[in-house]
Structure 1
């Protein structure tokens, strides 16, 4: 009687576990999926290896540690941010404003698509000196500087504009993603937001703004903030004739 060899175990969806090439792109893709689903804290080399049907030790060839893996995820997300740094713009025109407005909207979309990645984009870079950050996280900075210097701003002015824009954007994103509602079943705005807990005598203005706070619209707030920011930048960085100050 002939003995048939035992079939090899297969993973869900077919195929043999651990067989076939594993690439950095695929590793980061799955890592991003895990973070999107369960948060940054859920990611580990062991869990990632299991998701990829690989021995976790094989992943270290592509990412030496979890920190490098998180940096790679941040680079992967930021790589989706479109910035037209090669165009020709005028300081006294609206082209550079329109381009930066598009960048701001794109950054917000990425944040809303990947809210669990926002700490990697906004707060994590602050713990690392600029020159030691992953190159992919610096490319938006270089692209915006290129866009603005092509528009006629000096290098220093371009840096000021970048800092003002992304300082506002980072604050806006963190504010938009935070939980504002304490009791969503309540119809009274003061109760929904928990503002009834504040002493009336100490916070009369804040309590009075309950309807406005409850009607928060992230998209509208972004546009309103950009209007104020660009109006101020235009007035500060250009003279009445439209030439760079």
Structure 2
């Protein structure tokens, strides 16, 4: 996400716990704050500093206001996180509607566009994607990452419009969301995103001090194993999923 001028310059010689609070805030006109502006600022802060650095106090400094000014628009950190996640998923929904051609390319094209849209979010916001995967959805049967009621309604209605019966449409929703979560959580973890508050991000550029002498195959193949083929693997797994859907549903 492009910087909107909310973020302060951050000193590099302060403690991680206070880094976000160390910069010069930007003075805002009275009334310039809004819920959307605050959620966008929180997204930028998380992208740059990680989810663990997000507090109302630090976000207030990031926005150039007292933390109490934020409570007019968000009730606290939980509301803030829910709003950030909902915004990203809502933006994906609007983008997919806007990109849909008048001449539809079929259900395969629809699923491919949605899959690549979710992947774009995961790669643009790797620190946030685990939250998209784990924040409680609107109902227990709504599955992340397509985690809103209107996403679920549109997804199921689109598939049924392509001729899927009720059972097949529900089955596709389950297998498709499982595929997206599994593939993309692995991918963002490989790029250093922590998958839980207790996990530290891994520096993908620093090789681990492993002694592979007793593992000759690993020693020989380690350079190949370290290559990044995530996009090709995503495409291959997505194509396999679409082929299985077509075989199982016998949809023209």
1:233 maps to which residue? Answer: 245
| Alignment coverage as a number of residue pairs | 214
Contact 2:212 2:218 in 1 (8 A): no
1:112 maps to which residue? Answer: 123
- Give yes or no for the alignment of 1:213 onto 2:196: no
Question: Distance in 1 between the 2:50 and 2:30 partners?
Answer: 28
Question: Distance in 2 between the 1:19 and 1:214 partners?
Answer: 52
Residues 130 and 163 (structure 1 numbering): CA distance in 2 closer, same or farther, change over 3 Å? closer
Superposition TM-score, scaled by structure 2 size = 0.70
Higher RCO structure, 1 or 2 (CA under 8 Å, sep 6+): 1
Deviations 1:144-169 (CA, angstroms, capped at 9, x unpaired): 11211111112332121111112111
Deviations 1:118-152 (CA, angstroms, capped at 9, x unpaired): 11111233797347x9x973433222112111111
Question: Distance in 1 between the 2:183 and 2:147 partners?
Answer: 22
Any residues of structure 2 matched to 1:1-245 within 5 Å, and which?
15=27, 19-81=30-92, 82-84=95-97, 95-125=106-136, 129-130=140-141, 137-179=148-190, 184=205, 197=212, 200=215, 210=222, 212-238=224-250, 242=252
**SS of equivalent residue, structure 1 residue 129:** coil
**SS of equivalent residue, structure 1 residue 61:** coil
Runs of 4+ in 1 over 6 A off after TM superposition: 85-90, 180-183, 204-208
Contact 2:82 2:135 in 1 (8 A): no
Let me know the Cα RMSD of the aligned residues: 3.6
Alpha-carbon deviation of 1:83?
3.2
Residues 184 and 76 (structure 1 numbering): CA distance in 2 closer, same or farther, change over 3 Å? closer
Pair member with larger Rg = 1
Deviations 1:28-62 (CA, angstroms, capped at 9, x unpaired): 01111111111111111111122223332232232
Question: Distance in 2 between the 1:193 and 1:72 partners?
Answer: 37
Alpha-carbon deviation of 1:219?
1.2
Question: Distance in 1 between the 2:58 and 2:225 partners?
Answer: 40
Residues 212 and 166 (structure 1 numbering): CA distance in 2 closer, same or farther, change over 3 Å? farther
Superposition TM-score, scaled by structure 1 size = 0.72
